[in-house]
Amino acid sequence: HAHTSSRLLLILFLIDVLIGFSIIFIYFSLFSFADCPAKCAYRCSKSGRPKMCLRACNTCCQRCHCVPPGTSGNTEKCPCWAHMKTHGGRPKCP
């Protein structure tokens, strides 16, 4: 009996892991990295340093899988965006 129940627990655990990986895959599939250039072009459209803004924005977009709406602010919509810092401790994402 003990051997059968431990085998069942192992099977249930593996199913749980597969479901978890499936959810992560679906999440990342919904956000296409192909969206980054267009979203960043809009995000940086009013920047005084557009090339630097676009470079930072695309990096942040690829790492965070989101770009906050608008041309500035709204970082609460993409918390990862707000938490990324430069080596100097300043906000990385525009």
Q: pLDDT tens digits for 4-43?
A: 778 888 888 888 877 777 666 655 555 666 789 999 999 9
CA distance 66 to 89: 21
Other beta carbons within 10 angstroms of residue 71's beta carbon come to: 14
Tell me the domain boundaries of the chain: 1-30, 33-83
Is the Cβ–Cβ distance between 56 and 93 less than 8 Å? yes
Give 10: exposed, middle or buried? Use CB within 10 Å, 0-12, 13-18, 19+: exposed
Q: Which one-letter amino acid corresponds to residue 40? A: C
Overall pTM > 0.75: no
- Point out the least confidently predicted range of 6-15, 37-46, 48-57, 58-67: 6-15
